[in-house]
């Protein structure tokens, strides 16, 4: 039986940077309404929206101060309802971002707690003695709780206080949030850092890996997800759910995503986006490790396939520099590289996510000074790099390569001022490439049409939506290859990750047919020569 959800492709919009209709320099919900025909043309099914709730924007909306309202800078509840309604007319649904691990310290829960209300104090994780855990945004993970002498836990910024899921009142309040939006007719949810919600009763010091093992993927996390499922989206089977899993394992993601577990539909993990971290550290510069990338794709692809789990597949999101700059020679092979990267995930087993601008091959912005950066993580880490003894030039080069702002620059619509994103002053400068790389120019181009074709294949072919995953040519030094199998077909997908041609034997697939490729003239034989960054998918019917 095919699961209809497995035919869907998700498109991620960072609302603040998508399309501004008011001239205040920030994208808004009406901007999304305006661009629905564009998204319908691309063929996507669901739009994941990053948070648009009231927030002091210390962490760009991941610091929520009111879960059940719209931040006026993005529009009104009426705009939201109209957006949902209009999108439905195009067959497009919305997936909302639920930030349930922590809330802003400006949320009334935290404010009441601070003013001494014991009921709300138990909404947070307060201790007399902090542990040695390090915040994911740098520095200590605990901050003084007013003048009480206690400390509150913040795994992220100091203004994002972790919520105490052990408290049933907290769970109830958060389940109500999910149901509030469910009842507004959305199609799914993306749960922010949801494998961190289950903290143990006794919090232990943990010198390993900044304390992560002490609070990540704890067994109780699975219990909380089952409760959440049962109390909210589990009641509506068509809703699609994905959990963002920080520093997780395959074993846990199988549990989070296996249908019989009744937790979530699928999981995001980030291991494949750490293959250019030197010694596992983000704020470093290193070329990507292709062997490690293959190993990770194969182990996740195969083990999730064999175990009945489901992966969210992605190269880009609002937290990552553009994949083109990381994995491709963008100067010489932008189009070939962009289409190859797309095929490597869209033909794989799992649900593909496209981050806005990826479908037109957007690249990092090439900012020239630190004052162009806005993100709290980048600003904190620039300082940390200086404190560690890096020169300002070295520290800046690292920020340039690694900043989350690389992905957050305005969507490049055309070559007019500010990339056609706003008539005002953009909250974050657009990338320098916009006169050449923009929707108006790329819409008839190679990358956009290749994405359209890949999205359509998933709708048309059971094999792509549901087929199993098997690693292929694991030892090839420059090709990432895998097979998809079902009762009737087998598909071989070959992806050349380098700017040099390479030959590969085709074995059983020598007499197959080409399903899709980013180069036009390829002839199949006992072996095939893959051109720079070529992707080639060969289909074969299985004889019975
Ligand atoms: C997730 C979000 C990121 C945010 C963090 C804290 O990783 O994707 O943008 O900063 O959670 O909410």
Sign of the dihedral defined by the CA atoms of residues 114, 118, 121, 126, in that order: positive
Atom number in ligand 1 closest to CA 59: 10
Integer Cα distance of 514 and 492 in angstroms: 10
Element (H, E) at 380: helix 376-387
Q: Which residues are catalytic?
A: 192, 244
Atom number in ligand 1 closest to CA 246: 7
User: For 96-124, how does the pLDDT look when each residue is reduced to its tens digit (9 = 90+)?
Assistant: 999 999 999 999 999 999 999 999 999 99
Residue nearest atom 5 in ligand 1 by C-alpha distance: 62
Pick from 252, 263, 269: nearest CA to 311: 269
Cα–ligand 1 centroid distance for 50 (angstroms): 10
For position 544, what pLDDT does the model report? 61
Pick from 184, 176, 191: nearest CA to 67: 176
Q: Which residues line ligand 1 (CB under 6 A)?
A: 59, 62, 99, 156, 192-193, 244, 318-319
**Structural domains in the chain plus CATH codes:** 4-103+168-371+409-450 (3.20.20.80), 104-162 (3.90.400.10), 372-408 (no CATH), 466-541 (2.60.40.1180)
Integer Cα distance of 164 and 354 in angstroms: 33
Residues in contact with 393: Cβ distance below 8 Å, sequence separation at least 6, in sequence order: none
- Helix, strand, or coil (residue 325): helix
Q: Share the mean pLDDT of the chain.
A: 97
Rounded to a whole number of angstroms, the CA Rg of the chain reads 23
Residues in contact with 115: Cβ distance below 8 Å, sequence separation at least 6, in sequence order: none
Atom number in ligand 1 closest to CA 317: 8
Element (H, E) at 347: none
Confidence of residue 522 (pLDDT cuts 50, 70, 90): confident
Residue nearest atom 9 in ligand 1 by C-alpha distance: 319
Q: Are 420 and 413 in contact (CB under 8 A)?
A: yes
For position 543, what pLDDT does the model report? 75
Mutate which of 51, 53, 59 for ligand 1 pocket (most atoms within 8 A of beta carbon): 59
B/e letters for 262-290, b = 16+ CB within 10 Å, e = fewer, are ebbbbbbbebbbbbbbeeeeebeeeebeb
Cα–ligand 1 centroid distance for 193 (angstroms): 7
Sign of the dihedral defined by the CA atoms of residues 482, 190, 414, 453, in that order: positive
Residue nearest atom 7 in ligand 1 by C-alpha distance: 193
Atom number in ligand 1 closest to CA 156: 6
Confidence of residue 197 (pLDDT cuts 50, 70, 90): very high
Task: Summarize the confidence of residues 428-435 as an average pLDDT.
Answer: 98
Integer Cα distance of 237 and 230 in angstroms: 11
Cα–ligand 1 centroid distance for 252 (angstroms): 20
Integer Cα distance of 361 and 437 in angstroms: 7
Task: Summarize the confidence of residues 343-347 as an average pLDDT.
Answer: 98
DSSP string spanning 153-195? Answer: E-SS-TTEEEB-TTSHHHHHHHHHHHHHHHTTT--EEEETTGG
Mutate which of 57, 61, 62 for ligand 1 pocket (most atoms within 8 A of beta carbon): 62
For position 63, what pLDDT does the model report? 98
Cα–ligand 1 centroid distance for 123 (angstroms): 20
* pLDDT of residue 293 exceeding 90: yes
Cα–ligand 1 centroid distance for 195 (angstroms): 12
């Amino acid at each position: 039986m095919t699961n209809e959800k497995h035919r869907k492709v998700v498109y991620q919009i960072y609302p603040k940077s998508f399309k501004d209709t008011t001239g205040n320099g920030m994208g808004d919900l009406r901007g999304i309404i305006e661009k629905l025909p564009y998204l319908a043309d691309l063929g996507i099914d669901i739009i994941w929206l990053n948070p648009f709730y009231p927030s002091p924007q210390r962490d760009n909306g991941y610091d929520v101060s009111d879960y059940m309202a719209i931040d006026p800078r993005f529009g009104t509840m009426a705009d939201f309802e109209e957006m949902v309604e209009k999108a439905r007319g195009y067959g497009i649904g919305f997936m909302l971002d639920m930030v349930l691990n922590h809330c802003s310290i400006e949320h009334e829960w935290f404010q009441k707690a601070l003013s001494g209300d014991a009921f709300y104090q138990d909404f947070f994780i307060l201790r007399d003695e902090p542990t040695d855990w390090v915040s994911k945004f740098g520095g200590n993970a605990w901050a003084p709780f007013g003048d009480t002498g206690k400390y509150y836990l913040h795994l992220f910024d100091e203004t994002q206080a972790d919520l105490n899921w052990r408290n049933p009142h907290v769970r109830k309040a958060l389940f109500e949030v999910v149901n509030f939006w469910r009842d507004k007719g959305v199609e799914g949810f993306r749960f922010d850092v949801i494998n961190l919600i289950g903290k143990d009763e006794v919090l232990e010091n943990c010198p390993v890996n900044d304390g992560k093992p002490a609070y990540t993927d704890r067994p109780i996390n699975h219990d909380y997800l089952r409760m959440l499922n049962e109390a909210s989206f589990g009641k509506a089977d068509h809703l699609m759910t994905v959990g963002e899993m920080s520093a997780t394992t395959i074993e846990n993601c199988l549990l989070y995503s296996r249908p019989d577990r009744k937790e979530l539909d699928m999981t995001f993990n980030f291991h494949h986006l750490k293959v250019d971290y030197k010694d596992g550290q983000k704020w470093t510069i290193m070329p990507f490790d292709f062997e490690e990338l293959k190993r990770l794709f194969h182990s996740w692809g195969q083990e999730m396939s064999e175990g009945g789990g489901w992966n969210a597949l992605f190269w880009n999101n609002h937290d990552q520099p553009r994949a083109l700059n990381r994995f491709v020679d963008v100067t010489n092979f932008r189009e070939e590289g962009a289409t190859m990267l797309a095929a490597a995930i869209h033909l794989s087993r799992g649900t593909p996510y496209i981050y806005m601008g990826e479908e037109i091959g957007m690249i990092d912005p090439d900012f020239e000074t630190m004052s162009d950066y806005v993100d709290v993580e980048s600003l904190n880490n620039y300082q940390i790099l200086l404190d560690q003894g890096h020169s300002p030039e070295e520290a800046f080069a690292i920020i340039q390569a690694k900043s989350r702002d690389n992905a957050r620059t305005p969507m490049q619509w055309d070559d007019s001022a500010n990339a056609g994103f706003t008539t005002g002053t953009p909250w974050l400068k657009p990338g320098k490439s916009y006169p050449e790389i923009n929707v108006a120019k790329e819409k008839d181009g190679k990358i956009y049409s290749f994405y359209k074709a890949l999205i359509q294949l998933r709708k048309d072919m059971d094999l792509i939506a549901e087929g199993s995953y098997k690693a292929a040519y694991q030892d090839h030094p420059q090709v990432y290859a895998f097979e998809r199998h079902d009762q009737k077909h087998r598909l071989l997908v070959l992806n050349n990750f380098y700017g040099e041609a390479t030959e590969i034997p085709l074995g059983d697939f020598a007499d197959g047919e080409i399903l899709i490729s980013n180069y036009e003239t390829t002839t199949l034989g006992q072996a095939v020569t893959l051109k720079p960054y070529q992707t080639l998918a060969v289909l074969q019917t299985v004889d019975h």
